[in-house]
Amino acid sequence: MKIFSTLILLLTFIFSATAQDKAPVVYQIKNVYQNADLNEKAIERFEKNPDLHSDTDEIMKLFKPIKGKYKVVVFMAGNYGLGANDKKDIFHHILILKVNKNNEILDGLEYCLEWAEPPYTSRLVRATKKGVKLQKGLQISQLDFKTFESGFQEGFNFWTFNGIIDNLYDFKEVF
């Protein structure tokens, strides 16, 4: 009986650890900006200058909205994954979405703060599918993110992240 109990406990632990790795990452609202827009000048500068692609400070400027006529929502998420030296590590993600008055997504960027894969360029991706309704439980993959790295990676879609959107901010539903 003791062996059976130990086996059940071990299987439960293995199942929990495996299920946790496959569970979707939840993007939680960090901030909501009314009458805002994405900083297209900073995005254009980033696209034209590959030297900025490994500069975290320059990348973070892309996630600071400017004045405009849209609603901009910034999300944060964290997940476990294999980092440097194949060690399990926490990865932090930032997502910024520009939406219209009908809550349709017009543009968006996503970035992993701890990206360290060769060739050590940024892990910045941009939403290519427009008009998707921003709603609780939205699968991030529906936005069809693609990198806009210059050179051999241009347009390469390596982003198959399992993430979903949450709609609570300051204990209130935003959308």
Distance CA 91, CA 79 (A): 5
Q: How far is CA 41 from CA 44, 62, 111, in A?
A: 5, 9, 18
The residue ranking higher by pLDDT, 119 or 175, is: 175
Tokens 């849209």 belong to 70
Q: How confident is the model at residue 155 (pLDDT cuts 50, 70, 90)?
A: very low
Task: Provide the strand spans (E) within 5-143.
Answer: 25-37, 66-67, 70-82, 88-99, 105-112, 124-127
Side chain identity at residue 125, one-letter code: V
**Model confidence at 36: pLDDT above 50:** yes
Q: Does residue 126 contact residue 144 with C-beta atoms inside 8 Å?
A: no
Residue ranges of domains in the chain: 25-173
Global confidence as pTM: 0.77
Distance CA 8, CA 4 (A): 6
Distance CA 117, CA 84 (A): 8
Tokens of 149: 């790295």
**pLDDT tens, residue by residue, 160-171:** 568 899 988 777
**pLDDT tens, residue by residue, 102-111:** 999 999 999 8
| Spatial CA neighbour of 123 closest among 174, 61, 54, 75 | 54
Burial of 80 (0-12, 13-18, 19+ CB in 10 A): middle
**Model confidence at 39: pLDDT above 80:** yes
